[in-house]
Structure formats: structure tokens, C-alpha cells
Amino acid sequence: MKFGRGLQEEAETIQMAPLIDIIFVTLVCFMTTSVYATLEREIDITLPTASSAVQDDRTRGEIYINLKKDGTITISERQVTIAELQDVLNRVAEYFPGGSIIIRGDREAILGNAIAVLDCCKNADIQNVSFAALPPEPEGAE
């Protein structure tokens, strides 16, 4: 009698479909969080405070323009001149009509640069322009 020989175990195989699904879900998570991480990288800007400041949700075609204390203008961590900014805004107006521009200016930024950015927005026929600000800290908070 041969009892043990009839039962042969098959080698276990790794199913690839669930692994591929997990990789794609992870990739999507990294892609969506990288958009918000870009905003946080511009840490060297100290936003002014305003009593009417509110937190808005991001929309498609929304562009953040950063005005730094030293007078430089950056979009997506890339320093641009006024001519380059005008070109970018013209393309934004063409591909995303009704898109919005949010100007994140440092408290000590040069006002002339903010006016130049607003002029570029007007030349590109972008109507939805706003300035980023923080709500004031409550009294007694440190």
C-alpha cells in the first residue's frame, strides 16, 4: 500500500492581477498628493492676513503665481519673467477658459510686481483672479 504517493502538492503561484492593481492604486495616490505637495514647497512666502480670508477647494486649470520678497515671480517652482508669465497666462486662457489665477504674495513683496501680474492677467483676458491670504490668528494664540 502506497498512501503518501498519490497526494502531490502543486507549487503555489503568485497571482499578478491583484499586485498590478495595488501598484496602480499606489501610483494614483502618489500622483494626486504630488499636486498638493507642490503648493507646500513654496514655504519661503509669508502670506498676509485678512479677516475675510477663506480656504477654497482647488479647481481644474487653477494657477498659483508666487511673488517672493526679493521680487521674483515663480510658477510651479520655476522663476519666470513678465514676458514668460504673459505667455503662460495666454496659454492658460486658451486651454482653460474660465480658469482662475491665485496670486500668493509675500507680505513684503514689491507692489509693482503684483500690478504687473494683474496686468498680464488682464491682457490674457483672465477674469477670475484672487489673492491668497491667511485668516488672522485669534488673540491670545501664540
CATH, residue 85: 3.30.420.270
Domain count within the chain: 1
Nearest by Cα to 64 from 47, 51, 50: 47
| Whether the model pTM is above 0.85 | no
Residue 120 cell numbers, joined: 498680464
pLDDT digits (tens, 9 = 90+) for 72-122: 888 877 889 999 999 988 888 888 888 888 888 888 888 888 889 999 999
Q: What is the pLDDT of residue 3?
A: 60
How far is the CA of 122 from the CAs of 1, 60, 89, 93, 112, in angstroms? 93, 20, 10, 11, 15
Compute the half-sphere exposure of residue 30: CA atoms within 13 Å on the CB side of its CA: 6
Residue 100 cell numbers, joined: 482662475
Beta bridge partners, 49, equal 134
In a domain, 38, yes or no: no
In a domain, 121, yes or no: yes
Residue 77 cell numbers, joined: 517652482
In a domain, 115, yes or no: yes
In a domain, 1, yes or no: no
In a domain, 21, yes or no: no
pLDDT category at 142 given cuts 50, 70, 90 is low
**Lowest-pLDDT range of 30-34, 55-59, 136-140:** 55-59
The domain containing residue 91 runs over which residues?
44-51+58-131
In a domain, 67, yes or no: yes
In a domain, 113, yes or no: yes
How do beta strands 100-105 and 78-80 pair? unpaired
Q: What is the pLDDT of residue 9?
A: 65
In a domain, 20, yes or no: no
The answer on pLDDT for 59 being more than 80 is no
* Residue 80 and residue 108 in contact, taking contact as beta carbons nearer than 8 Å: no
